[in-house]
Amino acid sequence: MQNHIVTKLLKLANIEPNGTAPWDIQIHNPRLYDRVLREGSLGLGESYMDGWWDAHALDEFFARVLAADLDQKVKKNIPLLMHAVVAQIFNLQSKNRAFEIGEKHYDVGNDLYTAMLDRRMTYTCGYWRDAKTLDEAQDSKLDLVCKKIGLKAGDHVLDIGCGWGSFAKFAAEKYGARVVGITVSKEQLALGTKLCAGLPIELRLTDYRDMNEKFDHIISLGMFEHVGYKNYRAYMEVVHRCLKDNGLFLLHTIGGNRSVTHSDAWITKYIFTNSMLPSVAQIGREIEGLFVMEDWHNFSADYDKTLMSWFANFDHAWHEVKPPAGGLTSKYGDRFYRMWKYYLLSCAGSFRARKNQLWQVVLSKSGVHGGYDSIR
């Protein structure tokens, strides 16, 4: 019975179990059907990690599944309902939990991220409009951010969620800016400090709620996804108090098409602890009375290209980061490889299906005199 139900659902996405198309699912364990219907996305992801199924083009498998809304057609299940209830009751992104995402995701290993990312180690969506390589796309994105806030020599900028300091280093070297970057990852701070040595850059291990200084401009690239809906207003209030009256704030974030209060169960458990994607409505509500929305730029299709480039780098370098034969104590192994592959390619498929968006929002405190010129 479960076999028939899942096969019927997959047919809606033009996916055939054990078919010959690159996106067709190859089933190695028939218990998969019951597990997916019982556990939803968590069961689908964990069963892939367990080797119960494969798809040659995993990214396209997910693009088709999500475009057909199969995730919405699978009925609610107990693990998913419990995940939603917990997110409603508790503030999973409270200050005392702020460093969990750093420890569980960003601290996983600088060797992994060095192999996967561009030469600047920029762990956010590239801008591919005039770019042919990942390095070019990330340089274009960083330059786009600088231009959108009107960055000039001597400006003092706060980077909320600075990663390994890619924006800070770019802004200091190319524009002569001074930058304070904050992160909740000890590994990012250690390597980022080395990469930014000799430049007017200060990187700190700090939660955004502890910031109370004035800056000419504020930017945040790929950090807002960790803030949580219960803290959106507090986050915006921090930015407001730290931004000078004539400054600009650029928010670069992944977004969702619907307002939610929790994230996908598999992503939360294995990749981005306590994460969730904001919606247009949620961002709009929380900036009301604090900011003027000057510009809203969606280039979400570029994240598909970025994620595919990250996977290509990761896959190519896997032999350098995986454990040697018999290296059972290594933090990387076959299960980690399947987990990371699933993460990167399922996300690529989600952006391809236009289920996830990538926004750059430019905000001012009182409106730009004479109007803001949108930059693309």
Q: Which two tokens mark 31?
A: 């218990």
Segment holding 345, helix H or strand E = helix 334-352
User: Contact, 297 vs 246, CB < 8 A?
Assistant: no
| Residue 71 confidence (pLDDT) | 80
- H helix and E strand count, the chain: 15, 9
pLDDT reported for residue 70: 87
Strand 215-221 relative to strand 156-160: parallel, antiparallel, unpaired?
parallel
Domain residue spans of the chain: 1-75, 95-299+353-364
Sign of CA dihedral 256, 63, 102, 202: negative
DSSP string, 1-20: -HHHHHHHHHHHTT--TT-S
Q: Provide DSSP, 146-195.
A: HHHTT--TT-EEEEET-TTTHHHHHHHHHH--EEEEEES-HHHHHHHHHH
Cα 20 to Cα 22: distance, rounded to the nearest angstrom: 6
Closest by CA position to 203, among listed 144, 247, 161 = 161
Quote the pTM value.
Answer: 0.90
- Measured in Å, how far apart are the chain's first and last C-alpha atoms? 52
pLDDT of residue 101: 57
Cβ atoms of residues 328 and 122 within 8 Å: no
**Please, what sign has the CA dihedral across residues 254, 258, 259, 263?**
negative
Q: CB–CB of 192/165 below 8 Å?
A: yes
Candidates 162, 196, 242, 347; catalytic one: 347
Task: Check if the beta carbon of residue 62 is closer than 8 Å to that of residue 345.
Answer: yes
290 contacts 237 by C-beta, under 8 angstroms: yes
Query: What is the reported pLDDT for 220?
Result: 98
Domain 95-299+353-364 sits in CATH 3.40.50.300: no
DSSP 365: S
Phi, psi of 301 (to 5 degrees): -60, -25
The pLDDT value recorded for residue 64 is 97
Asked about 347 being catalytic, the answer comes back as yes
DSSP string covering 89-120: HS-TT-GGGTTHHIIIIITS-HHHHHHHS-TT
Q: pLDDT tens per residue, the chain (376 residues)?
A: 567 888 888 999 999 999 999 999 999 999 999 888 888 899 999 999 999 999 999 999 999 999 999 887 765 544 544 444 344 444 545 566 555 655 666 667 898 999 999 999 999 999 999 999 999 999 999 999 999 999 999 999 999 999 999 999 999 999 999 999 999 999 999 999 999 999 999 999 999 999 999 999 999 999 999 999 999 999 999 999 999 999 999 999 999 999 998 888 899 999 988 899 999 999 999 999 999 999 999 999 999 999 999 999 999 999 888 766 544 445 788 899 999 999 999 999 999 999 999 999 999 999 999 999 999 9
List beta partners, residue 181: 159, 203
CA 267 vs. chain centroid, Å, equals 11
